[in-house]
Amino acid sequence: MKSEKVFITGCDHTNEWMMPWFVENYKKHNTAPLIFADFGVSDLNKIKSLHNFYALMNAQSNDEGKGWFKKPKVMCSSPSEKTVWLDTDCQVLTNIEDIFDLLEPNKLNMVEDKPWTARRGTNGPWYNSGVVGFIGQPMILKNWAEWVKNTTESGDQEVLYAKLDMMQKLTYINPLPNEYNWLRLQLENDNQDSWNKKIIHWTGHKGKLKIKEMMNV
């Protein structure tokens, strides 16, 4: 039976060590179907043992290069009407299934990356690609999947920022509440916090050290 709403996450062998932590946090609070996209893990059976995934997606093509460049293509392959992508370094703190009610059609639904906007926002606001929601197959998602091919940008988020001017961002991106993607830099560098945050996104090397600390590894 096709699910109307799904979450998707995924990684390759370099980030698979976070999956037990990610799945544990997700399952503690949520029952919505979760899909795993295999960007090239070393042991898929080990990943499968963590959770009764709704589906497994083979995303090991080299066409898009590094793992994060594969994300838009994977999102385009979602079998659901409403989909939310979650990076594996996102710590799910509570039930987040109400995010599906906030999604707008024909848009990417994302949280503004406030630290990057403040530091690098010469072309309007940045939007963080760690949490991305969408309905159906919006054209902006399909365009994003094409743009990441053969790009010189350093990441999928950078591609989206470079391709959309300020007016296009207003047209094609629906800003989600900050609580759905609270960034490490907000907590540790900018002294911004919220009692209502639902996801903490432990970005960068320092974020991964924090995750290892939580995992006792």
CB 80, CB 86: distance < 8 Å: no
Task: State the residue for tokens 């490490």.
Answer: 184
Average of per-residue pLDDT across 63-90: 89
CB 155, CB 67: distance < 8 Å: no
Residues 8-18 pLDDT 10s: 999 999 999 99
- In total, the chain counts a number of residues equal to 217
pLDDT score for 63: 61
Query: Domain limits of the chain?
Result: 5-215
Return the closest-CA partner of residue 199 out of 128, 120, 135: 128
Phi, psi of 214 (to 5 degrees): -65, -30
pLDDT score for 67: 66
Residues 124-169 pLDDT 10s: 899 999 999 999 999 999 999 999 988 888 899 999 999 999 999 9
CATH number for 5-215 (one of 3.90.550.10, 3.40.50.300, 3.40.720.10, 3.20.20.80): it is: 3.90.550.10
Average of per-residue pLDDT across 103-128: 93
- Burial pattern 16-25, b for ≥16 Cβ within 10 A else e, equals bebbbbbbeb
pLDDT score for 65: 58
